[in-house]
């Protein structure tokens, strides 16, 4: 069970992810609505795991991932992607993301990806 | 039908189908496909919307230019949001949406347009990127007409979602049409032959050409491929595989080969050689007619290598 930072520009998705992660026994310690906030919250909270949306205003998920990995090369990040973003997903894995889920996603898939990412420690 | 209209109808049809599929996932059993129409440049595609309406616009940012606006009634938007949150339809008659409801509808539009962009990307042969959604509330059609920059071309697809009308309007610049027409030419696509007519009734704006979604889809050329086999590797390993890597697949050399049509496993058969020395597939079993075709996306999304 982990302390998780949830990053998505849609309040609805943050709620869905928070509900899913909480139901899976995790603690959502913070939320962010864009890449800039994500980096601030990551530095403040130092979560054990971060879920990161790819398409966001201000700074997108890939840029945020790059900066998060620079802050902590051991950061565990799971990307949230929409259909058709295969190239960005692959890029994020190269940058160090542990796994990804594709929207619209099932709760089990989210928990599975989070569990696997945490299990790599 | 001119090449421009042909490109617009194909754009509308493939986008409408991608969107309908996403809606089917978000609110199963609550989606009815309508028709696809080319918008007359002199007529606003927003002229007949029912208000109050929620409109979510999603623009392309890379690959192509142009915009997309998904419009639904406030009642429909609330029902869609409730369904996405696993709740029953709201029974009160409130036109205002909560922040969470608006966010759910915007997210739905975002996922729909991502699917549509992926479909367009298949035609254009490159990844098409979208921007985050922008949501607006309109209390009259004139507000909507004034809200979006007119485009030289437009295409409109209608649906009913949660028993309420909604539509997707695609605002299409000339450059997009040029790209699309060129891509269709390169694919050797034949002219769309569906029934086309000027429509003045049935709630449609006069001056639009429209065909049913079924007709619009019937002549679209789809990508067909044969699959020899699969395996799975950790995704972290995939980008690092050097040339010369040998991946063992899950099929024996004489096992049937699967035939895929736009991502659906549609048939299986055996590989044969033509007289010209090209590979061909002799079909032994066809799964499509009884609805047994299986979508492939989830396996691909989890990193299958084929």
Distance from CA of B198 to the nearest CA of A (A): 35
Torsion angle, alpha carbons of B39, B42, B43, B46, to 10 = 80
Q: Given pLDDT bands bounded at 50, 70 and 90, which one contains residue B201? A: very low
Mean pLDDT computed over every residue of chain B: 78
CB contact under 8 A, A10 and B297: no
Least Cα distance to B125 among B191, B216, B187 occurs for B187
Residue B149: strand, helix, or coil: coil
Q: Given pLDDT bands bounded at 50, 70 and 90, which one contains residue B13? A: confident
Neighbours of B252 (CB within 10 A): 7
Residue B35, H or E segment:
strand B31-38
Q: Of A98-107, B11-20, B72-81, B180-189, which one has max mean pLDDT?
A: B72-81
Q: Based on the structure, what is the number of domains in chain A?
A: 1
- For chain B, counts of helices (H) and of strands (E): 7, 16
Give the integer Cα–Cα distance in Å for B245 and B251: 18
Cis omega (within 30 of 0) on the bond before B52?
A: yes
pTM recorded for the entire structure? 0.69
Q: What is the pLDDT of residue B195?
A: 37
Q: What is the mean predicted confidence (pLDDT) over B206-232?
A: 66
Residue scoring higher pLDDT (B155 or B209): B155
Q: Given pLDDT bands bounded at 50, 70 and 90, which one contains residue B221? A: low
What distances in angstroms separate CA A12 from CA A4, B42, B106, B223, one per listed residue? 17, 38, 9, 35
pLDDT at residue B180 tops 50: yes
Of A26-30, B90-94, B171-175, B200-204, minimum mean pLDDT range: B200-204
Cβ of residue A19 closer than 8 Å to a chain B Cβ: no
Give the integer Cα–Cα distance in Å for B225 and B231: 17
- Domains of chain B are 3-218 (3.40.1550.10), 224-305 (2.30.330.10)
Residues paired with residue B72 on neighbouring β-strands, in sequence order: B54, B166
Q: Is the dihedral of CA B303, A58, B133, B61 positive or negative?
A: negative
Radius of gyration from C-alpha coordinates of chain A: 12
Chain A segment 55-84 residues within 8 A of B by beta carbon are 55-57, 82-84
pLDDT at residue B9 tops 70: yes
Cβ of residue A9 closer than 8 Å to a chain B Cβ: yes
Give the integer Cα–Cα distance in Å for A39 and A50: 10
Give me the residue label for tokens 């429509």: B199
- What CATH number did the domain enclosing A33 receive? 3.40.50.2300
CB contact under 8 A, B132 and A85: no
Chain B residues at the A interface, defined by Cβ less than 8 Å, are: 22, 25-26, 81, 84-85, 99-100, 103-104, 106-107, 110-111, 114-115, 117-118, 121, 127-132, 235-236, 238-239, 297, 301
- Considering CB atoms only, which of A10, A16, A87 is closest to B106? A10
Sort out which chain B residues have CB atoms less than 8 A from A102's CB and list them: 301
Q: Given pLDDT bands bounded at 50, 70 and 90, which one contains residue B302? A: very low
pLDDT at residue B230 tops 90: no
Residue scoring higher pLDDT (B143 or B252): B143
Residue A98: strand, helix, or coil: coil
> What is the residue range of A86's domain?
3-119
- pLDDT digit string (tens) for B279-288? 888 888 877 4
Q: What is the mean predicted confidence (pLDDT) over A80-102?
A: 86
Q: What is the pLDDT of residue A81?
A: 86
Q: What is the pLDDT of residue A40?
A: 97
Residues A53, A77 contacting (CB under 8 angstroms): no
CB contact under 8 A, B235 and A93: yes
């Amino acid at each position: 069970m982990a302390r998780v930072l949830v990053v998505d520009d849609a309040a609805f998705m943050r709620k869905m992810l928070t509900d899913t992660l909480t139901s899976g026994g995790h603690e959502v310690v913070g939320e962010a609505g864009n890449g800039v906030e994500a980096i601030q919250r990551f530095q403040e909270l130092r979560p054990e795991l971060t879920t990161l949306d790819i398409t966001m205003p201000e700074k997108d998920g890939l840029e945020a991932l790059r900066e998060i990995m620079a802050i902590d090369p051991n950061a565990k990040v799971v990307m949230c992607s929409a259909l058709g973003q295969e190239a960005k997903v692959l890029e994020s894995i190269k940058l160090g993301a542990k796994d990804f889920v594709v929207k619209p996603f099932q709760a089990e898939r989210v928990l599975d990806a989070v569990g696997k990412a945490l299990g790599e420690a | 039908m001119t090449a421009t209209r042909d490109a617009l109808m194909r754009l509308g049809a493939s986008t409408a189908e991608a969107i309908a599929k996403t809606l089917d996932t978000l609110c199963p059993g609550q989606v009815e496909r309508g028709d696809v129409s080319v918008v007359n440049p002199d007529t606003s595609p927003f002229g007949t919307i029912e208000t109050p309406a929620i409109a979510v616009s999603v623009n392309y940012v890379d690959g192509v230019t142009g915009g997309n606006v998904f419009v639904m009634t406030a009642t429909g938007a609330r029902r869609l949001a409730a369904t996405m949150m696993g709740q029953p339809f709201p029974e009160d008659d409130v036109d205002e949406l909560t922040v969470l409801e608006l966010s759910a509808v915007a997210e739905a539009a975002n996922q729909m347009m991502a699917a549509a962009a992926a479909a367009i990307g298949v035609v254009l042969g490159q990844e098409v990127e979208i921007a985050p959604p922008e949501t607006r509330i309109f209390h009259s059609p004139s507000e909507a007409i004034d809200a979006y920059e007119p485009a030289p071309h437009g295409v409109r697809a209608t649906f009913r979602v949660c028993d309420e009308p909604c539509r997707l309007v695609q605002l299409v610049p000339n450059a997009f049409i040029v790209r699309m027409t060129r891509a269709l030419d390169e694919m050797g696509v034949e002219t769309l032959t569906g029934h086309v007519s000027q429509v003045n009734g049935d709630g449609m704006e006069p001056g639009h050409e429209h065909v049913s979604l079924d007709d619009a889809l019937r002549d679209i050329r789809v990508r067909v491929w044969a699959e020899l086999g699969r395996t799975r590797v950790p995704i972290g390993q995939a980008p690092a595989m050097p040339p010369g890597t040998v991946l063992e697949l899950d099929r024996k050399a004489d096992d049937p080969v699967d035939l895929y049509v736009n991502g659906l496993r549609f048939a299986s058969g055996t590989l044969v050689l033509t007289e010209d020395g090209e590979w061909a597939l002799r079909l032994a079993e066809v799964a499509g007619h009884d609805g047994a075709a299986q979508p492939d996306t989830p396996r691909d999304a989890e990193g299958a290598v084929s």
